[in-house]
């Protein structure tokens, strides 16, 4: 087994909000919305900061058992020697996947202690077929200045 060329240096949650509805309809499924923000560190082109925004919202007009909003920030580093043409794809696909696992676990933990059965988000992919990787705007990752 080889270590991943993308290492998660740290992650933290900036928003965790779950609403449980006692009168929620068991037949109403939640719809997952995602957004990823990405920035490359100015001082170190191998470091990136990603923010994954997740929202679990109702499909249609009926009330689900749970709605949620979770934002998680991660700082990742690309291994030295990783081929430069593949760096953006690695960060844009694997970075959000690392954060998604943390957000999924947080939602499982919170809803397991709620009035309804636990919510475990389904598996997703952040691969965008036939979409070229974009170079993020350089910025300093949160809490990492002076490193």
Cβ atoms 147, 57 nearer than 8 A: no
Mean pLDDT within 7-30 = 94
Percent helix, strand and coil across the chain, each to the nearest 5: 20, 35, 45
- The strand ranges marked E within the chain are 6-20, 30-40, 47-58, 66-78
Model confidence over 43-81: pLDDT tens digits?
999 999 999 999 999 988 889 999 999 999 999 999 999
Q: Give the residue, 43 or 131, on which the prediction is more confident.
A: 43
- The pLDDT confidence band at residue 147, using thresholds 50, 70 and 90, is very low
Comparing C-alpha atoms, which of 48, 68, 50, 49 is closest to residue 58? 68
CA distance 31 to 59: 6
DSSP secondary structure letter of residue 144 = -
pTM value? 0.85
- CATH superfamily entry for domain 6-111: SecB-like (3.10.420.10)
CA distance 73 to 49: 7
What is the model's pLDDT at position 138? 63
Cβ atoms 80, 46 nearer than 8 A: yes
Q: What percent of the chain has pLDDT over 70?
A: 88
140 pLDDT higher than 80: no
CA distance 87 to 113: 40
């Amino acid at each position: 087994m080889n270590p991943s060329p993308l290492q998660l240096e740290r992650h933290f949650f900036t928003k965790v909000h779950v609403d449980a509805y006692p009168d929620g309809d068991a037949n109403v499924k939640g719809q997952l919305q995602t957004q990823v923000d990405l920035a490359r560190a100015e001082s170190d082109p191998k470091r990136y900061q990603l923010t994954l925004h997740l929202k679990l919202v109702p499909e249609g007009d009926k009330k689900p058992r749970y709605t949620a909003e979770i934002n998680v920030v991660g700082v990742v580093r690309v291994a030295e020697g990783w081929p430069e043409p593949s760096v953006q794809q690695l960060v844009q696909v694997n970075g959000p996947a690392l954060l998604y696992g943390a957000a999924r676990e947080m939602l499982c933990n919170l809803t397991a202690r709620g009035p309804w059965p636990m919510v475990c988000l389904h598996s997703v992919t952040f691969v965008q077929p036939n979409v070229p990787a974009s170079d993020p705007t350089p910025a300093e990752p949160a809490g990492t200045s002076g490193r």
